[in-house]
Amino acid sequence: MCVVAFLPPGSLKVEYVGTGIQERTVHMPRAISRELDRVYELCTHYNAPLGMLTDEALSVAINGIERIKYSDDPPVLELSTSFAPTDPVQVAIGGMLHVLGCRNMAIFHTKSPPLQPYLGAVVEHAPTLSSLDEAIATRYAFEDWDLFTMQRCRDEWYLFWDWQHELRRRALVRPLDKGDTLKIKLGSDFGTRHFLMRSPYPKQPLPSEGYSIFATQARPRDDVIDAIFRDSGECDRLSDQHVVFTVSEVRRSGRLGYSQVVFGTLVNNSTKLCLKLYDERFFAIEEVEGYDDPLVQCDPAQRFNDLMTATYLARNEETIYDRLSELQGSLLPYYYGIRRVELPDGTTVWGLLTEFIEGPIIEHIDARDWSREAQIDFIRRMRHLFRALRYAGVTHNDDSPRNLLCPNIGVRGSGAPGIVLIDFAFSDPWLNDDRGTPPVYDSPTDKPHFRPLLLHVGISKDLVNEQWEPLDELEI
């Protein structure tokens, strides 16, 4: 926390405070001195380690770190000034926080920053809530909690843990069931409430051979589904307009996991869809005993950095479906959006709506009796799926059998089923320039992506190697 007070433009002058760091000054007019004292008193009252007095051209920083670290010592007022009158106050505040209470504002000076940085936070944080009842009444999602505070306040983390487990207990009283009706909120598209990730790098064009292979298992898109949501963006996001989703099958519900999955249909439509719900009540979180992990005791900022949120997972999925849009309807399901969904118990969560794919997972496929032609065709489908991901700069990160579905594509193929990849919640899009190439693909020979799954279905290793290699330059 920092305290910032604003003065009229031109109120501060360099001669009032001199240069560098001072413990006392006699150059300030009384009015300015009073304002500085008021900022310091507010820092003391709120236990804020840093303060700033600014006229939006010149800034005076107050360092209260020593007072917080050594409460028995007399308070020391430390001043630092910016000599860049064109810098906005946001830059000054950013500079102060950047050096985290160090003894000079290095972002504004050419001096080297001190060797010993400070965390810029009080040693002990007080919990932001007083009871579990208050948490249940005021907190609805992980993002309503402040991670910074939980990392530094044991009571806050325990309260968060109790809050999630109590909500989970209540959810299990009324689990999702066949016949339930869920309300998909109109005007609640994910992109209207959160920023969307987009790669700055163009995708490499796929070889024509790949598109011809994809076409053999292409499926038509249901335009009626699109029509239902076409005008939803014009709806008032605060209104109660919604589309009813009727559950016909519960695939996964009521157990720990980053998603609950149901199948069903929208009102007045018979097309079966898949609805993936990011219900944080069932997200796995670290046990309370992990708070004292010796690896993080000396650096609280490392605590719970792997805490997943529904927003994070939903954003990943939206990003990948957008990046691989040309593969929807063949190697990927059709994507119909991520929206707010109200469950029967009144809880509202983010939900991903996609095409329903009828078919077993690859783990349940037995290719040993297939003809050589069918086996080669299946290998080539997997091979070009891998290539499409590499050319788009996408790393799936979860190439387990449950994420590869094998629908029947009938006479369009050689007798082998199709391949459809799902679940991009933990995938990595190409967001950073990695030496001019997509993200590095580790050990293409020893650990080829997806290739081991072909061996599990009974295709010989020699045939897989013959059809898989060589990888081209963009795939390695």
Residues in contact with 286: Cβ distance below 8 Å, sequence separation at least 6, in sequence order: 304, 306, 307
Q: pLDDT band at 112, cuts 50/70/90? A: very low
The dihedral formed by the CA atoms of 92, 93, 97 and 101, expressed in degrees to the nearest 10: 70
Quick: pLDDT tens for 449-466.
678 889 989 999 999 988
- Ranking 198-202, 315-319, 433-437 by mean pLDDT, the lowest is 433-437
- Ranking 21-35, 111-125, 195-209, 234-248 by mean pLDDT, the lowest is 111-125
Structural element, H or E, at residue 348: strand 348-355
* Maximum mean pLDDT: which of 117-121, 442-446, 461-465: 461-465
Q: What are phi and psi of 107, to 5 degrees?
A: -70, -20
Judge contact between 53 and 60, C-beta under 8 A. Answer: yes
Query: Coil, helix or strand for 466?
Result: helix
Quick: pLDDT tens for 197-214.
998 888 888 888 888 888
- Per-residue pLDDT at 87 exceeds 80: no
The pLDDT of residue 301 is 76
Averaged pLDDT for residues 131-153: 92
Residues in contact with 474: Cβ distance below 8 Å, sequence separation at least 6, in sequence order: 204, 390, 391, 437, 438
- Per-residue pLDDT at 317 exceeds 90: yes
Averaged pLDDT for residues 29-40: 83
- Per-residue pLDDT at 61 exceeds 80: no
Averaged pLDDT for residues 310-331: 95
The pLDDT of residue 448 is 53
- Per-residue pLDDT at 113 exceeds 50: no
pLDDT above 70 covers a percentage of the chain that reads 75
The pLDDT of residue 349 is 97
Q: What is the CATH number of domain 177-285+293-355?
A: 3.30.200.20
Rounded to whole angstroms, how far apart are CA atoms 445 and 455? Answer: 15
Rounded to whole angstroms, how far apart are CA atoms 198 and 394? Answer: 12
The dihedral formed by the CA atoms of 140, 146, 152 and 156, expressed in degrees to the nearest 10: -20
Quick: pLDDT tens for 257-275.
999 999 999 988 899 999 9
- Per-residue pLDDT at 331 exceeds 70: yes
Token output for 318: 């939206």
* Residue given tokens 């008193």 in the structure block: 41
- Ranking 50-54, 93-97, 112-116, 467-471 by mean pLDDT, the lowest is 112-116
Using CA atoms, how far residue 289 sits from 125, 146, 212, 381, 405, in Å, is: 19, 20, 54, 46, 39
108 exposed, middle or buried (CB, 10 Å; 0-12, 13-18, 19+)? buried
Q: Cβ of 326: how many Cβ atoms within 10 Å?
A: 15
Q: pLDDT band at 77, cuts 50/70/90? A: very low
CA angle 328-455-439, nearest 5°? 50
Averaged pLDDT for residues 95-110: 43
Decide which of 267 and 105 is more confident: 267
Q: For 435, left (φ over 0), alpha (ψ -120 to 50), or beta?
A: left
Averaged pLDDT for residues 181-196: 91
